[in-house]
Amino acid sequence: MEPGRLRTHLRAHLCAHDGRPDPAATAMRAALALDPRSVEGWSALAMALHAAQGPAASAAAFRRVARLLPAAASAHLNLGNVLFDTGRWLSAETSLRQSLALDPARAYALFQLGRVARRTGRADAACRLLGLAARLEPPASPAAADIGAEMALALRDCGRWQDATRHGRRSAALLPDRYDVHLVLGAAAEAEGRPAAALCAYERAIRCHPGFGEAFTRHAVLRLRQTWKAPTPRPVAGRAGRRLAATALGCNGRFGNQLLQYGFLRLYAARHDLDLEVPEWVGRYLYDCDDPLPGAPLPRVSEEDHDFFASLSGAAPVRAECDVTGYFCRHTAALAPYRADFRRLFMPGRYLWPRADAIEHRLRARGRTIVALHLRRGDYGWGRFWIAPELWYRTWLEQLWADLEKPVLYLATDAPELAAAFSPFSPILATDLGTPLAGAEFFTDFHALCVADVLAISNSTFSFAAGLLNRTARRFVRPDRHRRMLVPYDPWDAEVLL
């Protein structure tokens, strides 16, 4: 098809679909079948897929644009950005370096390369690249503030606390609602022995972005330290070729995510006779985890670059002597053969056990059948983290309630005002079961979900992980976006997120 006719074809389809990305992407594929070498067509498809389905779905189209325009720095930069966003850092670095080779003065390519370097454990290189980017970027531009914030993180990773604090404060003045600058200021205060200042900085970071993991972890650990001690970490085994590190544990997602990550990696290490090393995280305090602390740095490997789930079952090569990062939110059928081992990892520790026992005792004193609902609101409601309405849960309860023996409803939620929607069922909340544990205020909700007889989760790793640990429930349900209702599911044979 001639270029002019292809442009007309694309515009007609876009207008017909009112700019909606999913139908637009379908239309563009039809147009590209007529002219598969159209740069304009592949660029439009890449943008439509990115808008509709995110970076992973659009990577192939961005790669096609880069192949069609091998001398265009912007095409390689766009591909590098998308690969970075999917966690494919080594591939991203290749594309970003191609962009920089074509345009050595492009500050944004240097910035992105600095971000890649930091995430792959090369903090010194990150500082150098970010310094170059800062010298090229106009000081008043919005990108300059982003570069400064990333520089503060890189300096933190180098242990250069005074420089990190200086950059963090400068960035916080420019970007007062930027999560990572307050994270840096908290880390610096913690390293300098100022726990009160660290807690304040972490609390500020959490207010900026409640769903991010690292500030949540550091804040929880500092508070839990005030209550009890974690077990002494075991010494590093030192076996040649058998090390496996997870230095990002505690950074990728909050509590539910962290249980899935740690649980998977412990199973993986046991299956392949590896020695897992992890940093300080809440599991050391709640579950008496005593894994060795990370030793000498290892090369970082993202779960996007190796299929660790296939490796768990022996269907892919074993990776060792690497520092693994990822979320490990895959279909749980792969974990089902190891469910007993997984559950043993998360038995309440010696200090937590009396509190956990008291939570279950107080619940069971109120009724015969514990029905637990999880309604997550505070940091959800965008992208794939969609929120199911209370009406779905209310309708399900109305159909179920009369058939239960002396039921009691427990509502696990970060929005206690939702209890009013369930007033006919007289719900109880975490505050009805005693004073929450400082630093792990979420634990009352989590344990109630773990011991319920009937469990209705949300589209959240928090309650999904509780379902995996629940040994007593005879019914599990979760929201179905397409059927607009709660549907049964098997925690050990399901996708983690919908």
Identify the band that residue 380 occupies on the pLDDT scale cut at 50, 70 and 90. Answer: low
Token pair 């192939």: residue: 60
From residue 328, how far is each of 79, 351, 465 by CA, in Å? Answer: 24, 29, 12
Look at residue 28 in the predicted model and tell me its pLDDT. Answer: 73
Round to whole Å and give the CA distance between 376 and 339: 26
Identify the band that residue 378 occupies on the pLDDT scale cut at 50, 70 and 90. Answer: low
Look at residue 379 in the predicted model and tell me its pLDDT. Answer: 56
Round to whole Å and give the CA distance between 444 and 35: 59
Taking alpha carbons only, the member of 219, 254, 249, 210 closest to residue 382 is: 210
- How would you class 368 by CB atoms within 10 Å of its CB: exposed for 0-12, middle for 13-18, buried for 19 or more? exposed
Domain with CATH 3.40.50 in the chain: 353-488
Tokens coding 240: 């040649």
Instruction: Tell me the CATH architecture of domain 353-488.
Output: 3-Layer(aba) Sandwich (3.40)
Look at residue 383 in the predicted model and tell me its pLDDT. Answer: 56
Look at residue 43 in the predicted model and tell me its pLDDT. Answer: 85
Tokens coding 305: 């670059």
| Phi, psi of 443, rounded to the nearest 5 degrees | -65, -35
- pTM of structure: 0.86
Please give the share of the chain, as a percent, with pLDDT higher than 70.
Answer: 93
Round to whole Å and give the CA distance between 176 and 174: 6
From residue 96, how far is each of 51, 113, 142 by CA, in Å? Answer: 22, 7, 21
3-state secondary structure 275-306: EEECCCCHHHHHCCCCCCCCCCCCCEEECCCC
From residue 235, how far is each of 290, 324, 395 by CA, in Å? Answer: 9, 20, 53
Amino acid at residue number 457: I
CB atoms within 10 A of CB 276: 23
Report how far Cα 465 is from the mean position of its chain's Cα atoms: 14
Task: Please compute the mean of the pLDDT values over residues 87-115 and round it to a whole number.
Answer: 95
Pick the range with the lowest mean pLDDT from 28-37, 242-251, 324-333, 433-442: 28-37
Please give the share of the chain, as a percent, with pLDDT higher than 90.
Answer: 80
3-state secondary structure 83-133: HHHCCCHHHHHHHHHHHHHHCCCCHHHHHHHHHHHHHCCCHHHHHHHHHHH
CB atoms within 10 A of CB 37: 11
470-481 pLDDT tens trace = 999 999 999 999
Q: Say yes or no to pLDDT of 38 above 90.
A: no
Q: Say yes or no to pLDDT of 105 above 80.
A: yes
Identify the band that residue 21 occupies on the pLDDT scale cut at 50, 70 and 90. Answer: low
446-459 pLDDT tens trace = 999 999 999 999 99
Look at residue 4 in the predicted model and tell me its pLDDT. Answer: 47
Residues 436-462 as b or e (16 or more Cβ within 10 Å = b): ebebbebbbbbbbbbbbbbbbbbbbbb
How do strand 454-456 and strand 369-375 relate by DSSP bridges? parallel
Token pair 């309630």: residue: 401
Instruction: Tell me the CATH architecture of domain 115-209.
Output: Alpha Horseshoe (1.25)
CB atoms within 10 A of CB 33: 10
Look at residue 331 in the predicted model and tell me its pLDDT. Answer: 96
Tokens coding 182: 């307050």
- Strand-pair partners of 486: 479
- Please name the residues in contact with 155: beta carbons below 8 A apart, sequence gap of 6 or more: 123, 127, 163, 164, 167, 184
282-312 pLDDT tens trace = 999 999 999 999 999 999 998 988 999 999 9
Q: What is the mean pLDDT of the chain?
A: 91
Domain with CATH 1.25.40.10 in the chain: 1-104, 115-209
Q: What CATH number is given for 1-104 in this structure?
A: 1.25.40.10
184-202 pLDDT tens trace = 999 999 999 999 999 999 9
Task: Please compute the mean of the pLDDT values over residues 383-387 and round it to a whole number.
Answer: 71
